[in-house]
Amino acid sequence: QKEVEQNSGPLSVPEGAIASLNCTYSDRVSQSFFWYRQYSGKSPELIMSIYSNGDKEDGRFTAQLNKASQYVSLLIRDSQPSDSATYLCAVNKGGSYIPTFGRGTSLIVHP
Amino acid sequence: DAGVTQSPTHLIKTRGQHVTLRCSPISGHKSVSWYQQVLGQGPQFIFQYYEKEERGRGNFPDRFSARQFPNYSSELNVNALLLGDSALYLCASSLAVGQRGPGYNEQFFGPGTRLTVL
């Protein structure tokens, strides 16, 4: 089992829809969770961090964390074509301050 | 405020050569981490430095080395380049290492250095 798993996609959604991106992790004592957006040919950009169970909202983005089920998700409301990118999930394993990245999910928002 | 800066942006080398990549963190950030990213994969951790000390090393050969300077900037060195070293090399900075809580461990990436080994 990979430490951080993401479906590589692509996930295709129409403009204005909700995009749901999922990530599972293997280390039960993981403490910190991050979502990054990476446009083609560019470096990753931090979107959200989440540390506690539940939801965290920032604008059109909502991160959801469920430590019991070992998954973290990112919801993008009112998806725009400019949201088309690869979304990387990163997890700090228990006792570590070094994030382990998933391979990313490609999101395509079509007009 | 300026973000993380890296130089050079692109680099072409031949097998067997040596390369030095440079990174300056966000002002006030004391930790720098290096990652390698190949197409279709997430960033793979190489090194982490905090307060000029190595705090972590990923599963990379000894040809890879790094250091952090008193001004918190950092260099990544790769010796005896192989074709497989061709990748995007990313530097990320964070406020600190070892302190829990929002903000301290969030890593912010620079634009990267695209290394091509021929």
pLDDT per residue as tens digits for the range B50-108: 999 999 999 999 999 999 999 999 999 999 999 999 999 999 999 877 766 666 689 99
Mean pLDDT of A72-92: 97
Instruction: Give CA–CA dist A96/B33, Å, rounded.
Output: 13
Instruction: Give CA–CA dist B53/B67, Å, rounded.
Output: 8
- A78-88: burial string, b at 16+ Cβ within 10 Å, e else: ebeeebbbbbb
Interface of A with B in 20-59 (CB under 8 A): 31-32, 34, 36, 42-46, 49, 51
Cβ within 8 Å, pair A46-B106: yes
Residue in B33, B106, B112 nearest the CB of A98: B33
What does the pLDDT read at residue B19? 98
| Partners of A20 in beta bridges | A75
Helices (H) and strands (E) in chain A, counts: 0, 11
Instruction: Give CA–CA dist A88/A106, Å, rounded.
Output: 9
**Residue B12: band (very low, low, confident or very high) from pLDDT cuts 50, 70, 90:** very high
Instruction: Give CA–CA dist A67/A53, Å, rounded.
Output: 6
What does the pLDDT read at residue A66? 96
Tokens describing residue A28: 């039960």
Whether residue A9 lies within 8 A of chain B, CB to CB, comes out as no
Instruction: Give CA–CA dist A16/A14, Å, rounded.
Output: 6
DSSP track, A11-45: EEEETTSPEEEEEEES-TT--EEEEEEE-TTS--E
DSSP state, B84?
G
Residue A8 has pLDDT above 70, yes or no: yes
> Percentage of chain B with pLDDT > 70?
93
Instruction: Give CA–CA dist B68/B52, Å, rounded.
Output: 5
CA angle B43, B48, B54 (to 5 degrees): 155
Mutate to test the interface with A, among B41, B88, B113 (most CBs of A within 10 A): B41
Beta-carbon count within 10 A of A111 CB: 7
Whether residue A98 lies within 8 A of chain B, CB to CB, comes out as yes
Residue A26 has pLDDT above 70, yes or no: yes
Instruction: Give CA–CA dist A61/A48, Å, rounded.
Output: 8
Cβ within 8 Å, pair A43-B44: no
**Residue A31: band (very low, low, confident or very high) from pLDDT cuts 50, 70, 90:** confident
